[in-house]
Amino acid sequence: MRSTYITTPIYYVNAKPHIGHAYTTIVCDVFSRFCRMLGSDVFFTTGTDEHGKKIEQSANNAGIAPQLFTDSISKLFRDLLPFLNVTNDDFIRTTERRHKDAVAHFWNRLKESGYLYLGEYSGWYDMRNEAYFSEDELVDGKSPLGGEALYMTEKCYFFRLSDFQDRLLDFYEKNPSFIFPSQRRNEVISFMSRGLNDLAVSRTTFTWGIPVPDDPGHVIYVWLDALTNYLTLNGYPNNDQSSSERWRNVIHFVGKEIVRFHAVYWPAFLMAAKLPLPKQIVSHGWWLSEGEKMSKSLGNVQDPIKYCKLFGSDALRYYLLRELSFGEDGNFSLSGFINRYNSILANAYGNLCNRVFSFVVKSCDNKVERPRDLTGDDQLFVTAVDADLKGSSSLFQRYAFSKYLEKLEHAISLANQYVDFQKPWALKTSDQGRMRDVLFLAVEQIYKITRLFYPVIPICAEKVFTQLGIPMDKAIATDYALPDEFHIDVVESLFPRIDQSTTNFDVFADD
């Protein structure tokens, strides 16, 4: 079985999670579920990034010791996972012993290989994003990542990043899909063409970090610390990464603002430590609120837990994947959420399942059988649905989640049209045999659509499979043959319509 290792970035613990964080995690969960369906042995990880000046300062502002502060916020990120129905295999905190050991080991490998040296650094420091910039990189006096920039000088260790320019460019050329999508790849290459400076990888201006081995006055640069989490989670340094199939198949999902760290620094660190490089860096866009990136510092965040509590995690997962064309930015809005929920989940899909299943229960003694022959209309219907579903898997593999869902929605509308046109309620008096055939075909297409819907709306999918008497693990297994007879005992409502006049939206008032 093929191994696939899927990672979310690890989240800063300076503030509680919002929709932007939930998005990266949900994308990874949906992708993990999809890979598992295709038979991959998936290892899916997430966690929290807990060191650095920014976190130390947030703890100071809150008047709490950094460890206690990070304990409490990391817990919020961990507790969010069951709300989002996320199936991660591990959760890492960079303050854990296993990680500190891995980072110290990694540092020593870089040092032994001659890529670290002691020097002095002056530059503009963006504390929000924990990165230095040169004067000409500033935009209107701020860092290019949008944070306030402070001029600072400090003695620190440098990593010989400049040595890797050609090797990295060569690697991108030989591995054109390493950075996805290509727009981000082009940005990275254009950044590299300006020349790579050596990178400051230790700090002395604060203490909240992993000490440099044998020089504890320095703490290790938080990005070097954080990126190493991906190795820690794969058992580094105890497991041999060079022979790890999982490591060779690691896909890092990241927001577009952190591509540079993952696509330039990280492969350079790994090359220096003589370790294999990840398979792919997949970058997504931002959720905006009134045109600005949703972020705690801008005070325009939305709380994912509120959406899960009020409308269910399936609804949030569906909205996030459908609304944003993967890789691009998009606006998050409650009205947009309700529109998509009502039109697709409640009216088109939920209602289709409900009316077809109820009809089977009420008019067919709870069961329908596979028809012996198909009419021309039936054949057209099944072929059209299959055409929608056939290409969907390759869309998924190219991270085109919104287009994938669009295909499923089209298949749902074909099924609704088929039922409307065939009118099983009229056939009930004129031709019961035909009525049963129509219902079987409708149920069968619902089942096929629901299998592909499963990675996005797993709770609902399980309800549908349960109504059909098919255990979830069988229903989503690649080689499962559909039974020739469906038995439906009880019909369960899937997505009740959101009625704006009766829903209490007060919970959103303080976001």
Contact 1, 249 (CB under 8 A): no
107 binds ligand MSP, rule: CB under 6 A: no
Number of residues that bind ligand MSP (CB under 6 A): 21
E-state strands within 223-351? 250-255, 280-284, 287-289, 292-293, 330-331
Residue 29 carries which side chain, given as an amino acid letter?
A: D
Which stretch in 19-27, 53-61, 186-194, 351-359 sits in contact with ligand MSP by CB under 6 A?
Answer: 19-27
Contact 22, 84 (CB under 8 A): yes
Q: Residue 406, SS3?
A: helix
Residue of 293, 322, 340, 436 interacting with ligand MSP (CB under 6 A): 293
Residues in region 224-243 near ligand MSP by CB under 6 A = 226-227, 229
21 binds ligand MSP, rule: CB under 6 A: yes
CB of 24 to ligand MSP, least distance (A): 4
**Cα 293–54–5 angle (5° rounding)?**
70
304 binds ligand MSP, rule: CB under 6 A: no
> For residue 305, what are its two tokens?
């837990």
Whole-angstrom CA distances from 423 to 143, 385, 428, 434 are 63, 19, 9, 10
Whole-angstrom CA distances from 505 to 312, 318, 337, 379 are 15, 20, 13, 46
E-state strands within 354-496? 367-369, 485-487
463 binds ligand MSP, rule: CB under 6 A: no
Which stretch in 238-246, 289-297, 375-383, 385-393 sits in contact with ligand MSP by CB under 6 A?
Answer: 289-297
CA-CA distance, 60 to 264, in Å (whole number)? 32
Residue of 6, 30, 131, 254 interacting with ligand MSP (CB under 6 A): 254
Which stretch in 35-43, 136-144, 161-169, 292-300 sits in contact with ligand MSP by CB under 6 A?
Answer: 292-300
294 binds ligand MSP, rule: CB under 6 A: yes
CB of 421 to ligand MSP, least distance (A): 42
347 binds ligand MSP, rule: CB under 6 A: no
- 318 versus 453: smaller Cβ distance to ligand MSP: 318
- 254 versus 438: smaller Cβ distance to ligand MSP: 254
- Look at strands 202-203 and 211-212 and give their pairing: unpaired
CB of 444 to ligand MSP, least distance (A): 38
Give the CA-trace dihedral at 459, 464, 469, 471, to 10 degrees.
Answer: -30
9 binds ligand MSP, rule: CB under 6 A: yes
Contact 202, 156 (CB under 8 A): yes
Length of the chain: 511
287 binds ligand MSP, rule: CB under 6 A: yes
Residues in region 41-80 near ligand MSP by CB under 6 A = 49
Q: Give the residues lining the site for ligand MSP (CB under 6 A).
A: 9-12, 20-21, 23-24, 49, 226-227, 229, 254-255, 257-258, 286-287, 293-295
